[in-house]
Amino acid sequence: MKTVKTITLEEHFLTEGYVRATAEYSVRTGMQFPEMQAKLLDLGAGRIAAMDEGGVDLQVMSLVAFGLEGLSAADGTAVAREVNDELAAAVKAHPDRLAGFATLALKDVGAAMKELERCVKELGFLGVMVNGTVEERFFDDVRFLPFFEAAAALDVPVYLHPAPPPEPVREAYYTGLPGELGRLLSIAGWGWHSETALHTLRLIVSGLFDKVPGLQLIIGHMGEGLPFALARSSGVLSGQAKLKQTVAEYFKTNVHMTTSGYFTLPPLRCALEVVGIERMMYSVDYPFSANTKGKDYLEKVAGVLSVEEMEIFVGGNAAKVLKITS
């Protein structure tokens, strides 16, 4: 008998207002997702039906927020607030099935911190998702330290999600290939994962988790390749970084991983061996991946994990990280 909720926490949505506000930038970067738009815009019955089909009890939703980078600081702040209000309304309508991560426009860090506090204290959101770089700066830049301090003070996790590469990176690494191959290579084909892995290591070696020891970071896609490379990366970086512990040890104290978009066993086995079941959480990456695909995957995982480990994996760890009590 199922005793723990199945919780997924890299599951995406859009709003009509956000789509209109960011249309120009989304067209330019190829991040429109027309084939997925109907599912992304559905924050109610259709989404919940897909959850039921895939055995998902609670879905933590986050905006596909790449377009905020194309807005001014003021416009981005206004759009983010509207998005958060719309998400809050959807959660209020289905409180037992839906939850939210805050959307923030981090070009104005001060305004973003105020919005994060509103989202957590007034709207009841469980954390915040941030995407890629902001004005081509990684989040180890000193300007973002107050944001991370605010998240830690509010006791909510930060989910670090990929975004399209900055233009100089796209030009250098992903041009000159036929058709759509360069763009696909720059996102889910490789670039998203390698850049988010790099971003995570930058946060660690910059000393962020020594400065803000209570901060909890979540990364998706089975750890963005980091479990496979962690021993070597930690060995090379730890001696020079002047940290309180090795790079690898922060994956036991400050970093959590979800399975979003990954549905084969070898990456899971690697992650389990390197970081342990206590740092792993199930997620789907809906609607870019189907909840039913995740359900089929869990049947395979059940052959690898014990019953107790499965409960930790499908919902126990998420409930702990997100402070979900019922």
Q: Is 97 within the bounds of a domain?
A: yes
Give me the pLDDT at residue 307, please: 96
Task: Check: CB of residue 148 under 8 Å from CB of residue 206.
Answer: no
Query: Mean pLDDT for the chain?
Result: 96
User: For the ranges 31-45, 55-69, 85-99, 247-261, which has the lowest average pLDDT?
Assistant: 31-45
Give the residue-averaged pLDDT of 215-223. Answer: 98
Pairing mode of beta strands 58-63, 255-258: unpaired
pTM: 0.96
Q: How confident is the model at residue 201 (pLDDT cuts 50, 70, 90)?
A: very high
Q: Is 2 within the bounds of a domain?
A: no
Please write the tens of the pLDDT for every residue from 144-182: 999 999 999 999 999 999 998 888 999 999 999 999 999
| pLDDT at residue 1 is higher than 50 | no
Q: Is 94 within the bounds of a domain?
A: yes
Give the residue-averaged pLDDT of 34-60. Answer: 96
Q: Residue 80 sits in a domain of what CATH number? A: 3.20.20.140
Give me the pLDDT at residue 24, please: 86
Q: Is 56 within the bounds of a domain?
A: yes
Give the residue-averaged pLDDT of 284-296. Answer: 98
The domain tally of the chain equals 1
Give the residue-averaged pLDDT of 131-150. Answer: 97
Q: How far apart are CA 103 and CA 116, in angstroms?
A: 8
Q: How confident is the model at residue 305 (pLDDT cuts 50, 70, 90)?
A: very high
User: For the ranges 161-170, 251-260, 311-320, which has the lowest average pLDDT?
Assistant: 161-170
Q: How confident is the model at residue 249 (pLDDT cuts 50, 70, 90)?
A: very high
Give the residue-averaged pLDDT of 241-268. Answer: 97
Assign residue 7 a region: left if phi > 0, alpha if psi is -120 to 50, beta otherwise?
Answer: beta
Give me the pLDDT at residue 3, please: 73
Q: How far is CA 97 from the centre of its chain?
A: 19
Contacts 24+ apart (CB under 8 A), 291-299: 291/8, 291/50, 291/51, 291/53, 291/54, 291/55, 291/56, 292/53, 292/54, 293/54, 293/263, 294/8, 294/54, 294/56, 294/263, 295/53, 295/54, 295/55, 296/263, 297/259, 297/263, 298/6, 298/55
Give me the pLDDT at residue 273, please: 97
Q: Is 1 within the bounds of a domain?
A: no
Contacts 24+ apart (CB under 8 A), 89-95: 90/43, 90/44, 90/61, 91/61, 91/123, 91/124, 93/44, 94/44, 94/48
Please write the tens of the pLDDT for every residue from 78-128: 999 999 999 999 999 999 999 999 999 999 999 999 999 999 999 999 999
Q: Is 249 within the bounds of a domain?
A: yes
Give the residue-averaged pLDDT of 273-292. Answer: 98
Which structural domain, as residue segments, surrounds residue 230?
7-322
Give the residue-averaged pLDDT of 216-245. Answer: 97
Task: Check: CB of residue 22 under 8 Å from CB of residue 70.
Answer: yes
Please write the tens of the pLDDT for every residue from 2-42: 678 999 999 999 999 999 999 887 777 777 788 899 999 99
Q: Is 135 within the bounds of a domain?
A: yes
Give me the pLDDT at residue 2, please: 63
Q: How confident is the model at residue 324 (pLDDT cuts 50, 70, 90)?
A: very high
Q: Is 285 within the bounds of a domain?
A: yes
